[in-house]
Structure 1
Amino acid sequence: MAGPLSEAVLHDVMRQGLWAAAVMSLPILAVALAAGLVIGLLQALTSVQEATLTFVPKLAAIAAVFWVTMGFMTGTLVSFLRETVAPLIAGG
Structure 2
Amino acid sequence: MTDAALYDVMRQGLWVAVTISAPLLTVALVAGVVIGLFQALTSVQEMTLTFVPKVAAMMAVFWVSMSFMTGSLVTFFTKLVIPMIAGG
TM-score tier, shorter chain, comes to over 0.9
Choose the corresponding residue for 1:53, options 49, 63, 67: 49
The question of 1:42 aligning with 2:44 is answered no
The question of 1:32 aligning with 2:28 is answered yes
Q: Percent identity over the alignment?
A: 67
Q: After TM superposition, give the deviation of residue 49 of structure 1 in Å.
A: 0.7
Which has the larger Rg?
1
Q: Which residue of 2 aligns with 1:14?
A: 10
Q: Which residue of 2 aligns with 1:83?
A: 79
Q: Which runs of 4+ in 1 moved over 3 A?
A: none
Over the aligned positions, Cα root-mean-square deviation in angstroms equals: 0.6
In 2, Cα distance between the equivalents of 1:51 and 1:15?
Answer: 38
Q: Which residue of 1 aligns with 2:19?
A: 23
| Runs of 5+ consecutive residues of structure 2 not aligned to the other structure | none
In 2, Cα distance between the equivalents of 1:30 and 1:69?
Answer: 13
- 1:54-77 per-position Cα deviation (integer Å, ceiling 9, x unaligned): 000000000110011000000000
Number of residue pairs aligned between Structure 1 and Structure 2: 88
Q: TM-score, structure 2 length as denominator?
A: 0.97
Q: After TM superposition, give the deviation of residue 42 of structure 1 in Å.
A: 0.2
Letter in 2 for 1:33: L
